Structure 1
Amino acid sequence: MGRLLTLLLISRLDLLLSLCPSVWPSVRPCLWLGGAVRWAGAALHAQRGHLFPWAPVFLGFGIGVYFSLPLEPPVRWLLLCGGGGAGLLLAAGRLPETAAPLALAGGLVLLGLALAGARAHAVAAPQLGFRYYGPIEGRVIGIDRSASDVPRLTLDRVVLSRVAPKRVPARVRVSLHGDPALQARALRLAPGQRVALTGHLVPPGGPVEPGGFDFRRHAWFERIGAVGYSRTPVVLLEPAGGSRRIDRARMALSRHVQARLPGETGAFAAALMTGDRSAMGQGTLEALRQTNLAHLLAISGLHMGLLTGFVFGAVRVLLLLPRRSRHLWPGKKIAALTALAAASGYLALSGGNIATQRAFIMVAVMLGAVLADLRALSLRSVALAALLLLCLRPEAMLGPGFQMSFAATTALVCVFGALRGAMSLPRWARPLLAMVLSSAVASLATAPVSMAHFNLVSRYGLLANLLAVPAMGLLAMPMAVLSALLLPLGLDRWSLGVMALGLDWILGVARAVAELEGTVGLVVAPGPWVLPLFAAGSLILMLWQGAGRWSGLVPLLLAGVLWIGTERPAMLVAESGALVGVMTAQGRALSRPVGDGFTAKVWLENDGQGGGQEVAAALWPGGEGRLRRITLGKLEVVHASGSRAASEIKGCAGAQIVVSNAPLPVFGDCMFLDPLRLKETGAVAIFQDAAGVRMKTSKTEPPRLWERGGSDPDRSERPTTPDQ
């Protein structure tokens, strides 16, 4: 009754104040604020029962705030955020109905910020701060292939000669170049073995341009403190002990499958069953990427869904056959428990990477809903899975795997939920429509994320998925399950042979579609606000109830406008100083045709420019001598590569930008970038407009946690340099 009288008084207060013109101007803003609060309360009241899916959104917003901060927040601030967030969550139960959701949202944002900061401190480990060459000892915990298609070892329990134990990284990653026979030998190593080799190590590299992908941050959360390469044989010091038995079983299964199915088919089968991609060639991987079929390699939601769906359905059918189990046993729950056990085994055998963990959590939540007699596929299940994963691995939110997986899942649940009961089709047509519709919805939902992270769009990706995904669901995954069951009996040869038919079809589709003209389109990398706006607009469209959901089109439209108007840097400088890229009317011109290949590749991809480094280097004007010169508006850019070229620079004027990968004396009034300054700034982007020239650096001051441990990164894909 008291609330009703209060609302009545506030609603009529404007009428009373209209009788007092002198008081009205000072009170009117308060009334507008009160009206806005009442409107927000009414809107939230209309969303009752549909607010839980917003919980991971606000938790993720807090995580995003932490990673976007320009400096590292003190630990006491993180503690205050965590305490304040927990306090708001506890206090929400005592607040009025209209204020409680706002308190919960604020509490989740503060908790997300605190969780991300706590995780960043929890994984802290030494990072190498200098270039190292010498003996490297460690225990093998991972075997894969680098982007330059050579074997790569990840080692822990590392020992480095002449480096104090407290400064030795927790993990290092070493690419193995040189003799192919030695490389093949390295691929036969088993996790848990202790090895030794001689190699070069450097600190993990930062972004190759400001605002780009930060490998140093990624390595920090993987506890990788150094990366490098070796050309020497890998010497086995100790056999595998009692640890990492699951990893050894996984690699043994991978080699068994490859022995049964040689070639790319066997490598593909091993990747599906164990997550081991070390035998897959770069040509096959590129064809899968260009046709938007690379997701079939990552053991994620599709594989977990197909596996658990097959096991669940098979157990249900088996339990329906005997009369006793059909009538007396809880068949659905027994099938759910069996499917959960199969998913757990798949998680262990596949290596348990972040994509597989995410898929397992989502499947476990949905099977748990079946056990609790709730709807398995609902936005609440998806939200709960997202909450669990964000609490365990907050940094996963920054990766394309997390973003694409939950974008596709949320869109599929919303679309199929909206269409439930809306169309009446013959039973035989429903699976076909479901397949076409799910492929189309998932492709549309993940397209912005894929284009933003990988700078390409597969024009025939939907066609390739429609042709390939049925073979994965009908042949590959069911036969993979049967092969695992028949392996102990030695009868898996025929099931693997049937599986190979489906995999050969998928690889054939990938190669055929990749050869079509115009398969891949290049996309300019978006600015920092584009993806958040896309996410905000999409979430409003999918999660908000009522006509207000259409307001989500506004941020979507704004994101598209910002993406179209993306401003690329007029000039880019690599952190090593060995490569410069200047934007011209024909595209970005590079100062060197070879060297810093990884940096050049990323720059051109972000520009949406094809042709490769040699074509881009041809756009740089020719000249005599060791100095490379080009004009940038009214400025002259001078690049010196090597100490001899740097020695030719005797001075500079204000209208010059001088870049060198060898130290330069401080002289003149121009802008100069040499290794000493680039060590402080990282990669540099220079923008030019009517107001003049402005510079943006990739390093922050004071540095974030992951920027404090190392310097002098080099991520070139050339065999003569470290390979990450």
Structure 2
Amino acid sequence: MVLFFKKERDLLARLLLAEQRRLALWLPVGLGLGIAWYFSLRREPGTPEVLAWAGVAALGLGWIAWRPHALAPRLIGGGAATLAVGCLAAFWATHRQPPLPDLPARATIVTGRVAAVALLPADGPAIRRLDLAGAVLDDPLDAGMPPLRRILRVRLRADDPLAPVPGMVVRVRALLRPPAPPSWPGGPDRQRRAYFDGTAGGGTALGRAQAIGPVPASSSLEALRERISARIVRVLPGAAGGVATAVLTGSAVGMARADRDAFADAGLAHLLAVAGLHLGIVMGVSVAAARLLLACSEWASLHWPCRSIAAVAGLVAGILYVGLTGAHLPALRSLTMAALVVLAIVTGRRALSLRGLAVGAILLLLTGPADLLEAPLQMSLVAVMALAAGAEHTRPILARLTEQPARWRRGALHAAHLAQASLLAGGATVPVVMAHFGTLQPWFVLANLLAVPLMAMWVLPLGLLSLFLMPLGFDSVALVPMGWGIGLILDLARMVSGWPAARLAVPAMPDWGLALWMLGLCWLCLWAGRWRAWGMAPMALALAVPFLVARPDLLLSPDGRTLAVRDGAALRIGPHPGSERLVEDDWRQALALPVMPLAGGAILPDRGRVALRLRGAPPARCDGLALLVTLAPDDAGCPGARMLDSLATWKGGAQAVFLRAGGPVVVSDRDWRGARPWVLAPGQHGLPVLPMAQRE
């Protein structure tokens, strides 16, 4: 037995020694595991835990400094240190945020300074949403309260004539609400997202907003964006203009909902959101143009570092493009990665490499640990990792095409690169899409193989040319053919979205299933030896997880007014389906079932120990009941039976019931999330905004 374990230990040591140059690639993985561990806790860690993490990090780093060339310190000490640093980074990011305030449940008058204006997509007139900073609530109960330390998002009425600009102080009567809690235990946590985004909640204007004081002039960048959008819409009316506006200014409000749904069903929704793909195309076109201009000068070609100059020019173009499209967070992340690529080119290193990705991932995780739990960062990291690893392993094969003088081989090389990028990036992000959006688009690879080259080689280059021609008044020369390319992409999206099984609903994937996929993908991509194939086993298991885990049989909404029952191949919702759109959409996505109305209160079929009672229904029979779920406010309950009602949801949030042979098992949202800074108190109350102390 001892000899057996010694052989296994020696084999593992040889494998790790062969991969020692790639151990550094696992640093962001360790950070990510530490961050995920922190956010999985059910209570906020105290001082002893934080000191323990700091001690583990110090000991691990000290061990490495003492024996820098030994395998055990680098593997064990480095792994423990990165886990601890990830926990510390998440803890520090959490406690730098101000608490979520307690917003009034009644209509109130809000006065605040406009920090940003967003246009929300709508089939009718675009609806404007204001981000108000330093908002003050003006009513008798909130008199003397200090301004909110978070952004308050208020949606204006569609008929409001106010033209808000950043810096304007507005006053509006609105109905406010805190960030919505999860619709079911384990569901999307919008409160955590709002906590780290710096928002306090949202609201809907009940009256028209009024400007207070002098109206500031709109910023030059905002005015430029509006002029570009207006010019695009004049030249390209309809859906083509909406797509062109989306890729050139970052706003897709001009598109009809049917077209946006077609892009989503075809797996092409990422073409409408400015992120890494668009930035890469813009920088690539800019680099190619700069290289061409420099090549026209013999002196520059012989004496200047043209490759580095072109790379810097591409980065400058990328910065301008991100600023023009609104500087959204996904685009800023992509710009960070692009800056690292340019740095690698300037310093003579490989542009797309796993080491560069590791450095970028470490920066992103340390500066925004909570972003690891959101879809944009997850999709970006797994897609780039798959592309870098795929390029590393296929480079010798594809290099043979570059050695052949025939032109068709070079065309085949470009086609192979596009196909490889679509397959690797798209395949790596499939489980992320399943986990966050509950959908699977089987035809997305084919759609992207056709649409991405059109966007990269036709649409966006012509769009950039139109921006340069706009000051001269000749932008229609580029916008009109750009519209032809957009028309082809629109036709493709509509066609693919109409194919059988274009968009399949899949049940919710638990967090550990997604973590299993990402760890397996890391194992497959980060190692170089044959044992990297072991990562395919957890990846295959992760794809089956949504269909293997137990799903709740009954769901009760966070406000206790709506319930849903899983009845075979349908989800029955009552008392009035459609009354809570957000909750019902989350339920439909989580269970991947069609919605049907729920009949009056009755004992569940074949489940005699659980009874339901809707409003106005007669009292349930109490014989043998273990659980009574009631929406009636005057229900007295049953002796010896647990009751789920509005009081239970007021205390614990949304409720999920699992029917077992030993009796029903109830899980509440508070049981699932625990007591964390972003979890609001019972009744969804935040921290009261207390008046400032009187000056002595």
TM-score (norm 2): 0.89
Is 1:473 the equivalent of 2:447?
no
Distance 1:605 1:469 in 2: 28
Of 687-696 and 654-663, deviating more is 654-663
Aligned-partner Cα distance in 2 for 1:326–1:479: 27
TM-aligned CA deviation for residue 306 of structure 1: 0.5
Look up the equivalent residue of 2:580 and give its one-letter code. D
Structure 2 residue 115 is matched with structure 1 residue 155: no
Structure 1 residues 480 and 582: CA distance shift in structure 2, 3 A: same
- The 2-side partners of 1:321 and 1:225 are apart by 55
* Deviation, structure 1 residue 474: 1.2
The structure-2 alpha-carbon separation of the partners of 1:330 and 1:586, relative to structure 1 and needing over 3 Å to count, comes to closer
1:636–1:692 CA distance, 2 compared to 1 (3 A):
closer
Q: Tell me the residue number matched to 2:109.
A: 135
The Cα of 1:255 is off from its aligned counterpart by 4.0
Shift of 1:87: 4.7
Question: Which of 300, 306, 324 pairs up with 2:299?
Answer: 324
Question: Identity over aligned residues, as a percent?
Answer: 29
The answer for the alignment partner of 2:688 in structure 1 is: none
Q: 1:213 to 1:632 in 2, by over 3 A?
A: farther
Does residue 590 (structure 1) correspond to residue 573 (structure 2)? The answer is: yes
State yes or no: 1:505 paired with 2:488. Answer: yes
CA apart distance, 1:504? 2.3
Shift of 1:225: 1.2
User: Larger deviation: 126-135 or 389-398?
Assistant: 126-135
Q: Does the 8 Å contact 2:626/2:663 carry over to 1?
A: no
Q: Which residue identity does 2:612 align to in structure 1?
A: V
Residues 446-525 of structure 1: pairs in structure 2 closer than 5 A: 446-525=429-508
Aligned pairs (5 A) from 1:584-623: 584-591=567-574, 592-610=576-594, 613=595, 616-617=596-597, 620-621=598-599, 623=600
Aligned equivalent of 1:103: 77
**Distance in 1 between residues matched to 2:410 and 2:257, nearest whole Å:** 42
Classify 1:456/1:195 alpha carbon distance in 2 versus 1 (closer, same or farther; 3 Å): same
Paired residue type of 1:466 = L
Q: Is the 8 A contact 1:190 1:251 kept in 2?
A: no
**How much does 1:371 deviate?**
0.5
The AA in structure 1 aligned to 2:660 is D
Distance 1:472 1:243, change over 3 A: same
Contact 1:572/1:683 (<8 A) preserved: yes
Between the aligned partners of 2:214 and 2:242, the Cα distance in structure 1 is: 26
Question: Using a 3 Å threshold, how does the CA distance of structure 1 residues 142 and 121 change in structure 2: closer, same or farther?
Answer: farther
Displacement after TM superposition at 1:442 (Å): 1.9
Indicate the residue corresponding to 2:39 in structure 1: 67
Partner of 1:199, secondary structure, is strand
Following superposition, the deviation at residue 630 of structure 1 comes to: 4.1
Query: Which residue of structure 1 lines up, in the alignment, with residue 680 of structure 2?
Result: 708
Distance 2:134 2:244 in 1: 31
| Maintained 8 Å contact 2:602/2:620 | no
Report deviation, 1:325. Answer: 0.7
Q: Does 2:148 match 1:168?
A: yes
1:210 counterpart (185, 188, 204): 185
| C-alpha separation in 2, matches of 1:544 and 1:82 | 29
Using the TM superposition, name which of 136-145 and 385-394 deviates more: 136-145
Say whether residues 1:112 and 2:93 are aligned partners.
no
Query: What one-letter code is carried by the residue in structure 1 that aligns with 2:71?
Result: T
- 8 A contact 1:128–1:202 mirrored in 2: no
Find the aligned partners of 1:454 and 1:668 in 2 and give their Cα distance: 41
| 2:660 corresponds to | 689
Q: What's the RMSD between the two structures over aligned residues?
A: 2.8
Distance 2:6 2:662 in 1: 43
Residue type at the aligned position of 2:374? G
Give the deviation of 1:35 after TM superposition.
7.1
Q: Does 1:394 align with 2:369?
A: yes
1:414-447 per-residue CA deviation (whole Å, 9 max, x = no partner) reads 1222111224331122112221222122221111
1:578 is matched with which residue?
561
Decide which moves more: 114-123 or 92-101: 92-101
Q: Distance in 2 between matches of 1:232 and 1:403?
A: 40
Give the partner amino acid of 1:115: A
Task: Indicate conservation of the 8 Å contact 1:128/1:168, yes or no.
Answer: no
Residue 353 in 1 paired to residue 328 in 2? yes
For 1:499 and 1:661, locate their aligned partners in 2 and report how far apart those are by CA, in whole Å.
58
Task: Tell me if structure 2 keeps the 8 A contact 1:658–1:670.
Answer: no
Q: Classify the secondary structure of the residue corresponding to 2:170.
A: strand
> Could you tell me how far 1:550 is from its partner in structure 2?
1.8
Aligned: 1:411 with 2:386: yes
Return the alpha-carbon distance in structure 2 between the equivalents of residues 257 and 437 of structure 1: 33
Task: Please name the residue that 1:558 is paired with.
Answer: 541
> Alignment partner for residue 279 of structure 2, among 267, 289, 304?
304
- Please tell me whether the aligned partners of residues 650 and 682 of structure 2 are also in contact (alpha carbons under 8 angstroms): no
1:132 aligned partner, one-letter code: R
- Per mean C-alpha deviation after superposition, the further-off stretch among 376-385 and 263-272 is 263-272
Alignment of 1:630-649 (within 5 A): 630-631=604-605, 633-641=607-615, 645=616
Partner of 1:11: none
TM-score (norm 1): 0.86
Deviates more, 1:111-120 or 1:99-108: 99-108
2:343 aligned residue = 368
Q: Is the 8 A contact 1:581 1:589 kept in 2?
A: yes
Answer yes or no: is the 8 Å Cα contact 1:575–1:712 preserved in 2.
no
> What residue identity is the alignment partner of 2:102?
L
The secondary structure found in structure 1 opposite 2:244 is: helix
Q: Distance in 2 between matches of 1:658 and 1:172?
A: 35
Deviations 1:479-534 (A, max 9, x none): 23223333344443322333222222222221222222332111111233211111
Given the alignment, which residue of 56, 76, 88 partners 2:28?
A: 56
**Shift of residue 206, structure 1, vs aligned partner:** 1.1
Change (3 A) 1:237 1:508: farther
- Structure 1 position 244, deviation (Å): 6.6
Bigger Cα displacement from structure 2, 148-157 vs 551-560: 148-157
Aligned-partner residue type, residue 608 of structure 1: A
Cα distance in structure 1, aligned partners of 2:538 and 2:57: 28
Alpha-carbon contact 2:463-2:478 (below 8 Å) kept: yes
Which one-letter code corresponds to 1:529 in the other structure?
Answer: W
One-letter identity of the residue aligned with 2:495: A
Partner Cα separation in structure 2 for residue 486 and residue 335 of structure 1:
22
Amino acid in the other structure paired with 1:679: W
For structure 2, the residue ranges without an aligned partner over 5 or more in a row are: 402-408, 686-696
Distance 2:649 2:306 in 1: 65
The CA deviation at 1:326 is 1.0
Q: What corresponds to 1:5 in structure 2?
A: none
CA distance in 2, matches of 1:198, 1:362: 43
Give the distance between the partners of 2:138 and 2:637, measured in 1 at CA. 36
Q: Is the Cα–Cα contact under 8 Å of residues 307 and 343 in structure 1 kept in the other structure?
A: yes
- Paired residue type of 1:588: L
2:678 is the counterpart of 1:698: no
Q: Deviations over 1:225-245 (max 9, x none)?
A: 122222422323355648976
Compared CA separation, residues 471 and 632, structure 1 to 2 (3 A): same
Over 3 Å counting, the alpha-carbon distance change for 1:256 and 1:709 in structure 2 is farther
Q: 1:155 and 1:410 mapped to 2: Cα distance?
A: 38
Residue 682 of structure 1 aligns with an amino acid whose one-letter code is G
Tell me how far 1:271 sits from its aligned partner.
Answer: 1.7
User: Which among 656, 667, 673 is matched to residue 644 of structure 2?
Assistant: 673
In 2, Cα distance between the equivalents of 1:488 and 1:238? 34
Match of 2:404 in 1: none
Give the superposition deviation at 1:366: 0.6
Task: Please identify, of 702-711 and 283-292, the stretch whose mean Cα deviation from structure 2 is larger.
Answer: 702-711
In 1: Cα distance, 2:631 partner to 2:121 partner? 29
Deviation of 1:598 (Å): 1.5
Q: 1:126 to 1:249 in 2, by over 3 A?
A: farther
- In the alignment, is residue 94 of structure 1 matched against residue 78 of structure 2? no
* Aligned-residue offset at 1:216: 0.7
1:261-288: per-residue Cα shift (whole Å, max 9, x none)?
Answer: 3333222222212222333332222111
User: 1:174 aligns to what SS in structure 2?
Assistant: strand
Partners of 1:56 and 1:126 in 2: how far apart?
A: 30
Q: Distance in 2 between matches of 1:117 and 1:474?
A: 45
- Pair 407,702 (structure 1): closer, same or farther in 2 beyond 3 Å: closer
Task: Mark the CA change 1:702 to 1:64 in structure 2 (over 3 Å): closer, same or farther.
Answer: closer
Q: C-alpha displacement at 1:290, in angstroms?
A: 0.5
